[in-house]
Amino acid sequence: MTVMEQRGAYRPTPPPAWQPRTDPAPLLPDAAPYRVLGTGAAAQADPELLRRLYAELVRGRRYNAQATALTKQGRLAVYPSTTGQEACEVAAALVLQEQDWLFPSYRDTLAAVARGLDPVQALTLLRGDWHTGYDPREHRIAPLSTPLATQLPHAVGLAHAARLKGDDVVALAMVGDGGTSEGDFHEALNFAAVWQAPVVFLVQNNGFAISVPLAKQTAAPSLAHKAVGYGMPGRLVDGNDAVAVHEVLSDAVRHAREGGGPTLVEAITYRIEAHTNADDATRYRGETEVEAWRAHDPIALLEHELTERGLIDEAGIQAARDAAETMAAELRAHMNQDPVLDPMDLFADVYAEPTPQLREQREQLAAELAAEREGTHS
Amino acid sequence: MTTVALKPATMAQALTRALRDAMAADPTVHVMGEDVGTLGGVFRVTDGLAKEFGEDRCTDTPLAEAGILGTAVGMAMYGLRPVVEMQFDAFAYPAFEQLISHVSRMRNRTRGAMPLPITIRVPYGGGIGGVEHHSDSSEAYYMATPGLHVVTPATVADAYGLLRAAIASDDPVVFLEPKRLYWSKDTWNPDEPTPVDPIGRAVVRRPGRSATLITYGPSLPVCLEAADAARAEGWDLEVVDLRSLVPFDDETVCASVRRTGRALVVHESGGYGGPGGEIAARVTERCFHHLEAPVLRVAGFDIPYPPPMLERHHLPGVDRILDAVGRLQWEAEN
């Protein structure tokens, strides 16, 4: 027998401790994104849930519009809009119980607001008066994370810690399609699966990482397919179908709560606005594409279902819009006031106790401010 | 009256004892990292902890430094006190984004609402014959990141006391373990550990009048040896062990330099952009009129850490220190 023949005949024998998963099929996502609206399944959906989702979507759309307008007025330094993605944002917030935790990315202010965070506090980072405008423990919302995917391992660690303590806590972590290329995405999913941590990963695939389309981001059949390699289920859902996203995320949260471990959910959606106000989306995509997605609008989809089934009338639609308008007016009123900032806060929370070096620098700033007040500073 | 028998102990044993005592005293202390469980760590610092406290409190993680530190962040957010091991200095680099973008600034960005009491143990430095990526001195990177404490013990007693202080700290502490001192022995009574000052205090290890050697971690024994050798030349060197690089103890260092009038900083890491530049500048700013000579530095060369067969030429040794002390004298006399 030649060496080559020997090699061909060689089959590695796994050591006894190695238990390969023999059937990855249950982990694989379906070929098509899961949908409820526009299908027969929609008739099964709870009317109360539909109405609640609708009100939150309308409010979310208005919030996106108002925040974008505030950016144009210079009231916000930047606002990454989720117009068109409201179904994902709202569903992510609504599937969580009081004790659960949300780990948003920088684009997910709306999810934080839908969870009940004060709209003004949610925008502190983007206005620029401080990095995080709320107490994460009070709301169980982690700080909005600007570095991509770095909040995902935090969600895993928190969920793991909660489970060690015996607490009934699920963490839901949000990331974009671009974020799935980051190393922290991989490490977080791997840790979560190994530890069977009660975590749900929600990827909002909105088509672009700033300007780079998904085709240049991944060669995988879908982002949900990535789950299989970690040993967790992957689910694919229409991210503009609020009912479908809510159902898939609810299943994943329940699965995690019951000790079933993590799930990766990919919601396919679209970013109607540019990445931020600093971005020119016309450089990388055509208006035809955007128009096609406008026709698949999450609010229109749900409104159609509600109207068809007679679950909402003109007055009901108007009531949702009025509530959204009230929220926008309050947000405007608050954001049009200049925040009162104390420069001495710069030194307040670097360490539990300032170092001697920071105490010296604090005194220096205090002297500069005193001189400024007395008008003697040049 | 009974006298306590002081038994020789190694720095590694003192570190193990500190971890064990911290875990026994506080159920929220969790040790995690690659190989820390069953194996007890590649340096055996976590030996026996998994057996005593269970795998939930001394956890073998997947091999992923960003994941180790990133999940530790989440655990700290939920009220635990993770102590993570980075195994080797250069293996910590994948975790830098978590360290710099989250660990160091979580207290600040949440206005004090969410401090992260994480201890990051990093065995560092050379002199053990390690191959590439096993001997880096990365303290300058940590020092340059606001929000972190950076400490490094040089004695067996400090290894215990500083690690206990680090774990008790409500802020993240990068705990640099000079790996070439892991097996250095000292008489130490583990049942009556030397009380250690809060993090941030330097200590005079050897009083002297001619010049001050400012050093820390793996270079302390080298400086003490140099000070002994210098006696033959008629120089009486004072040796200051910084113990804490952040915060920096200006008071102890400057008091010493004002007494001696001459200062030399000694460390393994490269000189350019290294800790010595910062220390020399601080000393010069505060003690200029007391100085008889410029503050000098004896550091590693500004090269990637060399292969083990050449590392002795790179590491600051007694001769190089004595040469520099000679230059301090020359500067004073001319």
pLDDT confidence band for A5 (50 / 70 / 90): low
pLDDT digits (tens, 9 = 90+) for A53-66: 999 999 999 999 99
Contact state of B70 with A130 under an 8 Å Cβ cutoff: no
Mean pLDDT of B44-63: 98
- Euclidean distance between the first and final Cα of chain B, in Å? 57
Helix (H, G, I), strand (E, B) or coil at B10: strand
- At residue B187 the predicted structure's pLDDT band, cuts being 50, 70 and 90, is confident
Q: Does B146 touch chain A (CB under 8 A)?
A: yes
- Spatial neighbors of A56 by CB under 8 A, at least 6 apart, are A86, A90, A93, A94, A114
Interface test with B, best of A349, A355, A357 (most B CBs within 10 A): A349
How far apart, in whole angstroms, are the C-alpha atoms of residue B186 and residue B6?
9
Query: Min CA distance, A373 vs chain B (Å)?
Result: 26
As a whole number of angstroms, the distance between CA B73 and CA B153 comes to 25
Mean pLDDT over A64-89 rounds to 96
Question: To which H or E segment does residue B330 belong?
Answer: helix B318-333
* Touching B: A residues 141-180, CB under 8 Å: 142-143, 145, 147, 150, 152-162, 164-165, 169, 171
Q: Considering only the beta carbons, identify the residue of B69, B76, B109 that sits closest to A143.
A: B109
pLDDT of res. B190:
75
CB-CB: which of B61, B66, B112 is closest to A349? B112
A305: Cα separation from own chain's centroid: 25
Q: What is the pLDDT of residues A268-318, one digit of tens each?
A: 999 999 998 888 999 999 999 999 999 999 999 999 999 999 999 999 999
Using a CB–CB cutoff of 8 Å, tell me whether A132 touches chain B. Answer: yes
What is the DSSP code string of B33-60?
Answer: ETT-SSS--TTSTTTTHHHHH-TTTEEE
* Nearest Cα residue in chain A from B81: A161
Residue B334 has a pLDDT of 44
> B75 to chain A: which residues are within 8 Å by CB?
157-158, 160-161
Strand-pairing partners, residue A145, are A105
pLDDT at B154: 97
Query: What is the DSSP pairing of strand A171-176 with strand A101-103?
Result: parallel
pLDDT of B195 over the 80 cut = no
Give me the pLDDT at residue A281, please. Answer: 92
Strand partners, B123: B177
Which residue is associated with the tokens 């100085």?
A: B291
Per-residue pLDDT, B2: 47
- Identify which of A178, A119, A191, A121 has the alpha carbon closest to the alpha carbon of residue A146: A178
**DSSP per position, B91-131:** GGGGGHHHIIIIITTHHHHTTTSS----EEEEEE---S---
Residues of A with CB below 8 A from B70's CB?
A: 150, 152-154, 156-157, 184, 187-188
Q: How many CA atoms lie within 13 A of A366 on its CB side?
A: 10
Q: Provide mean pLDDT across the span B150-179.
A: 96
In a 3-state reduction of DSSP, which class is residue B199?
A: coil
CB of A350 within 8 Å of a chain B CB? The answer is yes
- Any idea which of A335-344, B3-12, B168-177, B197-206 has the lowest mean pLDDT? B3-12
What is the rounded average pLDDT of the residues B14-30? 97
CA distance A330 to A209: 32
Which B-chain residues 288-317 have CB contacts (< 8 A) with chain A?
none
Tokens of A378: 């040049």
pLDDT of residue B64: 98
When the pLDDT of each residue in chain B is averaged and rounded to a whole number, the result is: 94
Q: Do B74 and A345 touch (CB under 8 A)?
A: no
Indicate the pLDDT class of residue B5, thresholds 50, 70 and 90: low
CA distance A123 to chain B (A): 14
Query: What is the arithmetic mean of pLDDT over B186-200?
Result: 78
Cis peptide before A24 (omega within 30 of 0): no
- Tokens 């601080």: give the residue: B282
Structure tokens at A326: 């009230």
Nearest to B150 by CA among B211, B89, B208, B194: B89
pTM: 0.95
Residues of B in contact with A164 (CB under 8 A): 56, 80
Q: Say whether B70 and A150 touch across the interface (CB within 8 A).
A: yes
Residues 320-349 on A with a CB inside 8 Å of B are: 345, 348-349
**Chain B contact present for A355, CB below 8 A:** yes
Of A158, A184, A190, the CB nearest to B77: A158
Mean pLDDT of A115-133: 94
Taking CB atoms and an 8 Å limit, are B112 and A348 in contact across chains?
yes
Positive or negative: CA dihedral A165, B111, A136, B118: negative
Say whether residue B147 is in contact with chain A using an 8 A CB cutoff.
yes
Do residues B213 and B226 touch, judged by C-beta distance below 8 A? yes
Residues of B in contact with A183 (CB under 8 A): 66, 94
A67 CA: distance to closest CA in chain B (Å)? 22
Residue A25: predicted pLDDT = 82
**pLDDT for A1 beyond 80:** no
Q: Do B110 and A190 touch (CB under 8 A)?
A: no
Active site residues of A: 271, 275, 284
Spatial contact of A343 and A365, defined as CB atoms under 8 Å apart: yes
Helix (H) or strand (E) holding B32: strand B29-33
Dump pLDDT digits (tens) for A164-193. Answer: 999 999 999 999 999 999 999 999 999 999
Residues of B with a catalytic annotation lie at 134
Q: Is B72 on the interface with A (CB under 8 A)?
A: yes
pLDDT band at B6 (very low <50, low <70, confident <90, very high): low
- What is the distance in angstroms between the Cα of A221 and the nearest Cα belonging to chain B? 26
Q: Can you tell me the distance from the alpha carbon of B273 to that of A185, in angstroms, rounded to the nearest whole number?
A: 33
Search chain B and give the residue with CA nearest A190: B62
Q: Do A157 and B71 touch (CB under 8 A)?
A: yes
- C-alpha to C-alpha distance for B70 and A100, rounded to whole angstroms: 19
Q: Exposure pattern of B19-46 as b/e (b: 16+ CB <10 Å)?
A: bbbbbeeeebbbbbbbbbbeebbbbebb
d(CA B265, CA B295): 8
Whether the predicted pLDDT of B149 surpasses 80: yes
pLDDT digits (tens, 9 = 90+) for A360-369: 999 999 999 9
Query: Is B101–A154 a contact, with Cβ atoms under 8 angstroms apart?
Result: no
Q: What is the mean pLDDT of chain A?
A: 94
- Mean pLDDT of all residues in B259-267: 98
Amino acid at A78: V
- Gap from A304 CA to chain B (nearest CA, Å): 41
pLDDT digit string, tens, across residues B281-295: 999 999 999 999 999
B107 touches chain A (CB under 8 A): yes
Confidence at residue A3, expressed as pLDDT on a 0 to 100 scale:
54
Q: Is the pLDDT of residue A248 over 60?
A: yes
Does B76 contact A157 at a Cβ distance shorter than 8 Å?
yes
